Amino acid sequence: MNTRTEVMQHDPVAPGLYSVQGVNPFEDATPTRNAKLPSDARIILEMLDRINSGQIHITLPDGQVHHCGIGNEGPVVDMIVHDWSVFGEMIARGDIGAAEAFIEGLWGTDSITRLLTLVACNRNALSKAIHGRRWQLLSSWVLHRLRANTKRGSKRNIMAHYDLGNSFYKLWLDETMTYSSALFCDHEHPDQADWEALPNAQLAKNNRMLDALDVKPGDTILEIGCGWGGFAEQATQRGAHVTGLTLSPAQQDFAQTRAERGGWQNQTEFLLTDYRDMQGQFDHIVSVEMFEAVGERWWPTYFRTLKQRLKPGGRALIQVITIDDNLFKQYRRGTDFIQRHVFPGGMLPSPSVFCEQAGRAGLKVTDDLAFGLHYARTLGLWHEAFCERLLEVKSQGFDDRFIRLWRFYLAYCEAGFRAGSIDVHQFTLQA
C-alpha cells in the first residue's frame, strides 16, 4: 500500500491524467504561448496568467503546454486538459463547471488539493473563472432553491449525503466516527499532525465544547445533529444525559448500537426528529456543523428554537463553518459546487451574520473560537485515508465518477480553509 505522501503525489484516481499510462506528457512537451487557441481557452488562460501566487502548467488537448502565473512563490501545479469544452464550462459555470468537468474525467492534475488551494488564494485575479456567468448558472440556482430545507426537504437532503452507508464513512473516518473538524491541541501547528493524532484531536474538540458549557453530572444536553454519537459518548462520561437528533436512519442506528455496546444507553436517546419538532427545555444545547444545512430562510427559526429549548440562563455551543464576511454578499446570490453536488439546500453564514441572527433571538455570543487551519488538516487526513481505501470504496459499488466527486469535494473544502475564504467557529451562546 502506498504511504499517504505517495498517494497525494501520484494522484491515483484521476483516470486518464496522463494520455498514455505511465508516461508523463509534461516531460517533453514544448511550452507555447502564441499558438492559435479556441476563444474559450484563450480567455481562461489569459485569466490564469494573472495568478500572482504560484503557477499552473497546463497541457492542452493538442499537446501544447501553457505556463500560467507570474508568482515566484506558492505551489507549482501540473494540469492536463483532455477536452477543449472544459474551458467553456469554466467560463459559463465557474467552479461548478470546472468540478463537473473533473468529475467526468475531462481534466486532471498531479494534486487536486494544491490546484484548488492555488485558485482559492488567487481569488481576486480569478473571480470570473470561479463564479461563472450568472445567467448560465440560473438552472443551478433554481435547483438549489427547490432543495429548500422544509421539514420534508431537510430529511431528503440529509439522507442524500449521510445515508451513503455507515460502512462507507468507516473507510476513511477515524475510529471515533467524527465527521467534523478536529482540534489539534497537542501540536504547535495542525499540519504537524498525522493520522494517529486524529482520534485524540476529535476528543479534544468535544472536551473543549463540554468545558465551554461547564457540563456537570445530571445536566441535560440537546444535540441537534448527533452524527454517529461521538459527542454524546463523551458527554455521558461527565454524567450528562444527551438527547440526540438526526434525520439519518443510518446514523440513528449506529449511535443507538454504539450506546448499547458502550453501556451508556440509559444516558442517551437518539431521535429521528427535526429540530423544529422538539419540545422541552435543556441545560445545554450542542450543534456541530449542522447549522450549514439549516438554510438561510430558517435561520431565525433555528435561533428561536435554541432560545425556546434552553432553560433560563442555559448555554449553547454551536460549531459552524462560516464564509468570510467580505464574500458573503456574492456567495448568497449564487450557488457553489458544494450546494450543487454535496450538501443540497446548504448555506454558510458569515461570522457577523451568525452573531446578528443569534442576537435577534435574544442569545448573546459570549465566546468565539476560530480554528480553520485545523479543519484544513482534518480534511487532508480524510482525503489521504480515502485515497488509501479506493479498492474498498469501489467494492461497495461506488464508481470512478463518484470517487472523483468526493476527492474534489474534500480538496475544495481544504483549499477554502487554507485560503481563509471559509473558517470554522465554536460560538458559545447564552440565553
Catalytic annotation, residues: 413
Torsion sign (Cα): 115, 116, 117, 121: positive
User: Which secondary structure element, helix H or strand E, spans residue 180, and what is its range?
Assistant: none
Grid cell in block for residue 82:
483532455
Extended beta strands in 101-233, E state: 107-109, 220-224
55 in helix, strand or coil? strand
Grid cell in block for residue 254:
449506529
* Spatial contact of 205 and 183, defined as CB atoms under 8 Å apart: yes
Cα separation, 98 vs 170, in Å, equals: 29
Neighbours of 33 (CB within 10 A): 12
Q: Is 69 left (phi over 0), alpha (psi -120 to 50) or beta?
A: left
* Spatial contact of 68 and 54, defined as CB atoms under 8 Å apart: no
Packed helices 85-103 and 39-48: angle between N→C axes, nearest 10 degrees = 70
Q: Is 129 left (phi over 0), alpha (psi -120 to 50) or beta?
A: alpha
User: Which secondary structure element, helix H or strand E, spans residue 299, and what is its range?
Assistant: helix 299-309
User: Which secondary structure element, helix H or strand E, spans residue 357, and what is its range?
Assistant: helix 351-360
Burial-class residue 53 by CB neighbours within 10 Å (0-12, 13-18, 19+): middle
Residues in CB range of 302: below 8 A, 6 or more apart: 275, 291, 294
Residues in CB range of 142: below 8 A, 6 or more apart: none
